Amino acid sequence: MIVWPAKKYFSKEEMICSILVIFILTSCVCAGSFVVNVTQSWYHAEENHNISLEWMFPTSTDPSPNVLHVSCETLINQIHSVMFYLYEGVEVPEFQDVRFAGRVQWDKDVLREGRLRLHISRLQTNDSGLYWCEVDTSYGKNFKECHLNVTAVKDRPEPETTSDTSLRGDPRGRIGLYCVLGLTAALLVIYSFCLYITKRIRDQYNKQYIKTTIQVIDPLRFCTETV
């Protein structure tokens, strides 16, 4: 009599654990071969300026269509937001946070070369924080982070006004200014001279008036004394 070994049945829990182990091992292998890098770990810029952030990932030589998903996100002041989202090679602005709306542009031409280049315009100091992009393809998935530090604009002297610049740069402006100053000085001299002449005439008139008055009063005084 032949006794066959009992058939072993796997429980549901064992099957789930086996699938999870296989998935984790596969993910580790894929992550090891599919690496995402950044050109810089730290970026520095001033507010109101523009900056370009770039990530690099391996491309596939497989002629079959490759699915490409990219999710670029930020962590600023402990607030998580989506900066850029690409689904099957097409940008999806609906997933983008409102603070980055209209400020993030990307280069489509370099994407096929395995480079994701994002241009952020009109930087603000509250844009400083952690930035990362996760690249998900049919042949691998991984992500890489970088830091952005935006500083306030340094105080700069105010530019010269147009009138000052024209006077300094144009000789005709200087000549006109000198003419106005000279004419003003001449008018002041003439006005002072007129005041002096008027005062002299008034003094002469007062002296003549006093002399005439004395001549009239003296005969009257003599007649009074005689009487």
Q: Of the residues 97, 126, 151, which one is the last residue of a structural domain?
A: 151
**Which residue carries 């001549």 as its tokens?**
215
**Number of domains making up the chain:** 2
Q: Is residue 28 part of a domain?
A: no
- Asked whether residue 117 is assigned to any structural domain, the reply reads yes
Q: In whole angstroms, give the CA distance from residue 178 to residue 83.
A: 60
Q: Token match 């997933």: residue?
A: 95
Same domain (yes/no): 147, 203: no
The range of the structural domain enclosing residue 113 comes to 33-151
pLDDT single digits (tens) 83-94? 999 998 899 999
Residue 170 pLDDT greater than 90, yes or no: no
Question: Do 132 and 187 belong to one domain?
Answer: no
Residue 10 in this model has a pLDDT that exceeds 60: no
- Whether residue 126 is found in the same domain as residue 49: yes
- Residue 99 shares a structural domain with residue 199: no
Q: What CA–CA distance (Å, rounded) separates 12 from 184?
A: 106
**Same domain as 131, residue 56:** yes
> Kind and range of the H or E element at 73?
strand 68-76
Q: Which of 123, 26, 56, 110 has its CA nearest to residue 83? A: 123
Q: Is the residue at 83 inside a domain? A: yes
CA distance 227 to 225: 6
Q: What is the CA radius of gyration of the chain?
A: 47
The pTM for the full model equals 0.54
Do 79 and 111 belong to one domain?
Answer: yes
Residue that finishes a domain, picked among 151, 184, 212: 151
